[in-house]
Structure 1
Amino acid sequence: MDVQPEAVHASGAPAGADAGAGLDRRAELSEFLRTRRARLKPEDVGLPDHGRHRRVPGLRREELAQLAGVSVAYYTRLEQGNGRNVSAEVLDSIARALRLSDAEHAHLTHLAKPKPKHKKKAATRTQQVRGSLRQLLDTMDGVPAYVVGRRAEILAWNRMAAAVFGDWSELPAQDRNWARMVFLRPEYRDLYVDWEQKAIDIVCALRMEAGCYPDDPRLSALVGELSVKSEDFRRLWATHDVKEKSHGVKRLRHPLVGEIALRYESFKLADDAEQTLLVYHAEPDSPSAEALRLLASWGADATRAGTAS
C-alpha cells in the first residue's frame, strides 16, 4: 500500500513555527541551546556551585562559554540564534560542554549551519515507496512491518501491521500519521501501555526533522495543528528534546489478544534516508509470540478488530 499524504492547514502554531511558512531557525537554535544549558548543573560539569542562589536553572552563559572555550559575547550571540559563520570546531566544543548526545549534536549542527536551498525542494516532494519494498512487506506474513517517511507519515504496511495497530487503509490519507494518531486519537492512547514514551519518541523524531527541514511548510503545519489540538504535544514540543529512531520494546494492549510485548528494529533505506522500515517481533515461545500467531491466523477478522476500526 503506497500512501500519498495530503497537506494539512493548521489554525495556529507555537513559538518558532509559522504554519505554511516553515519553522524559525533562529528561534529553534536559541531555544535548543537555552534548554540544553538549563538542564546542566555546575556539579555535572565539574564546576563549584558555592551554594549561591541562581536566578535561572542550569549553567550560566558565562560558565558554558568557559567550558566551551569561547567568549561570553560569542556564545551569547549564538544562543540568541545567530549561527552565521560558526565553525564546526566551535560547535563541537559547545556540544561537548553541553554534554550533547550524537543526535543532539547533529541537531545543533543542522540548526546552526543551514543546508543549501535545494533542501527545501527535497522536503516538499511527493514520497514514494518502491514497488519491490511493498512486495517485501507483503511477504513478511508473521511480523508487523511498515514504512514511515517524513513528518511521521505512514507510507506502506503489511497485513500484520494492520492486525496489530489497526487498519490504516480505513483512515483518510492525511490521518495516516503517527503524530496525529498518537496525540489526537484516543484509541492509540489506550493501545500503548507506556503512551507517554511513545509520544516522546514521536516528538523527538519530529524535532530532528525540523532541524533538517525548517522550511517544510507541511511539517510546520503539522506542528501548528498538534500544538493547537493537544496540550500534551505542546508540553513535549517545548522540551526541544531530540532522538533518532533505533530499536527497543513496545508494550501494547490489543483488543483481541490482550497485552503483548514486541521488540522493534528500524532500518533507514540505503537509497532514501528519509524513509525508515520498522519491523516488530516477539520473543520466541513467549505469550506475545503466540498472540502474533493467533492474529496471523485470524486474518481479516483481526484487522477489522484493530484499534483504528
Structure 2
Amino acid sequence: MHAEPEINAFLKARRAALDPAGLGLPPGGTRRRVRGLRRDEAAHLAGISVEYYTRIEQGRGGNVSPEVLDSLARGLRLTAAEHEYLRNVAHRAAHAATTRCQVGEEAPQVVRPGLRVMIDAMDGVAAVVYGRAMDVLAWNRLGGLIGCDFARLPPGERNIAKQMFLRADVEAGHPEVAQVRREIVAVLRAEAGRFPDSVRLCHVVGELLESSPEFARLWESQEVEEKTYGVKRVIDPRHGLLELQFQAMRLPPPDDELTLLLYAAEPDSPTRKALRALSADAEEHGALPATGTP
C-alpha cells in the first residue's frame, strides 16, 4: 500500500466524485481545472477555512476533532462507511503513520469452536466466516459449495479477494463479476482503514496490486463500502444460475474482527431446490464442513 497519507488520496477522490452544480455551488467565472469540487468549495461545504482544509487533506491537520470530521463528512456527502474510513485515516495522519507493510508476524485469526457449531447447524443456509483480509476461516456444508470450493484450497489461498481477481474459473462463475470485484475492493479498503497494522491485510492488498491491473485500478478509485445485504448470482456447473439473498454481519465481541456471511434462497424457488440437491450430493459423497487458517 502507498506510503503517502491515505487521507490525501481519499479526500481528493471524494471531491472529484461530487458535482458542484448538484450541490448548489455557483459555476464560477473561470473554466474548472479539476473534476468535481475545488478545495475552497469543499472547505465552504464543511464550514472550515481553505487553509485548514488544505492542511487536513495533505495530512498536516494534526489531531482533527470529531466535530470537524463530521462537518467534512456532511459537506462531502460521505456514506457511513466512508465517514468511518475518514475517521480512521485522519487518526493515522495525526500520528504520522504510513501505509507501508509492517515487518513481522501476525497471529492468525481463528474461529471459536462454539461459532463453528452454530454455522454447522444452519440448515438450508450457506454460511461463511471471513477475517480482516477477507480470508475465509470457516464455512458450513453449503457455504463450501457456493462460488468456490474452499476445502480444496491450501489455507493461504482461501481468500475471497484473491479468488475473485486471480482465478479465471471463479470469475466465470459470477455473471456480475465487475460489480462483485468493485464491492470487494471497497470492503478491503474499509478494512484497511479499520486495521491499518494488519500484516496479512497489507500483504493481500500488495499481492493483488502487483498481480491484477483491474484490482490496482479499483484500489486507486478510493471507494469505501460496507455491502451488508443484497442479491448474489452464481453459476453452478450442474444447476445453472443460482439467485441468493445474502447478509453480511460483523460479529459482536469477542469475534468483532470477523464477518459472518449468509446466503439463502427464496422459498419454493429453483435456487432453493438446487441448494437442497447440492447439500444432498455433498452429504452422500462425504463432503464435510471445514475450517482453515491462512
2:64 pairs with 83, 86, 96, which one?
Answer: 86
Give the structure 2 partner of residue 38 of structure 1: 16
Deviation at 1:161? 1.5
Q: Counterparts of 1:222-301 in structure 2 under 5 Å? A: 222-271=204-253, 272-299=255-282
Q: Is the contact made by 2:148 and 2:170 (CA closer than 8 Å) also made in structure 1?
A: no
Q: More deviation in 281-290 or 78-87?
A: 78-87
Aligned to 1:150, the other structure's residue is in SS state coil
Q: Matched residue of 1:206: which SS?
A: helix
How many angstroms does 1:243 deviate by? Answer: 0.8
Match 2:87 to one of 109, 117, 120: 109
Alpha carbons 1:205, 1:245 under 8 Å: kept: yes
Which 10-residue stretch deviates more, 135-144 or 238-247?
135-144
* Secondary structure, counterpart of 1:299 in structure 2: helix
* Structure 1 ranges of 4+ moved more than 4 A: 300-304
5+ long unaligned stretches in structure 2: 288-294
Q: How many residue pairs get matched? A: 278
Between stretches 133-142 and 61-70, larger displacement belongs to 133-142
User: Which amino acid in the other structure matches residue 282 of structure 1?
Assistant: A
Q: Deviations over 1:231-281 (max 9, x none)?
A: 110111011101113111001111110001000112222122111111111
- Comparing 49-58 with 248-257, greater Cα deviation is found at 49-58
Determine helix, strand or coil for the equivalent of 1:145. strand
Gaps of 5+ in 1: 1-13, 17-23, 305-309
Q: Secondary structure at the match of 1:111?
A: helix
Decide which moves more: 290-299 or 144-153: 290-299
Which residue is equivalent to 2:78? 100
Aligned AA (2:276): R
Using CA pairs under 8 Å that are at least 6 residues apart, name the structure with larger relative contact order, 1 or 2: 1
Q: For residue 83 of structure 1, report the CA deviation from its aligned partner.
A: 3.8
Shift of residue 51 of structure 1? 7.1
Q: Secondary structure at the match of 1:262?
A: strand
- Cα deviation, 1:22-54, whole Å, max 9, x if unaligned, reads xx4x52110000000011121121111147421
Of stretches 209-218 and 254-263 in structure 1, the one that deviates more from structure 2 is 209-218
- 1:138 aligns to 2:120 (yes or no): yes
**Counterparts of 1:222 and 1:185, CA distance in 2:** 15
The answer to whether the 8 A contact 1:151-1:206 is kept is yes
For 2:146 and 2:68, locate their aligned partners in 1 and report how far apart those are by CA, in whole Å: 47
Identity of aligned residues (%): 46
Give the equivalent residue in structure 2 for 1:4. none
Q: Which residue type is aligned with residue 69 of structure 1? A: G
TM-score with structure 1 setting the length: 0.84
Q: How does 1:132-281 map to 2 (within 5 A)?
A: 132-271=114-253, 272-281=255-264
The separation in 2 between residues aligned to 1:303 and 1:249, in whole angstroms, is 29
Partner of 2:51: 73
Question: Per-residue deviation at 1:170?
Answer: 1.4
CA shift in 2, pair 1:286/1:224, >3 Å:
same
Residue 248 of structure 1 aligns to a residue whose secondary structure is strand
Q: TM-score with structure 2 length normalisation?
A: 0.89
Which amino acid is 1:298 matched to? D
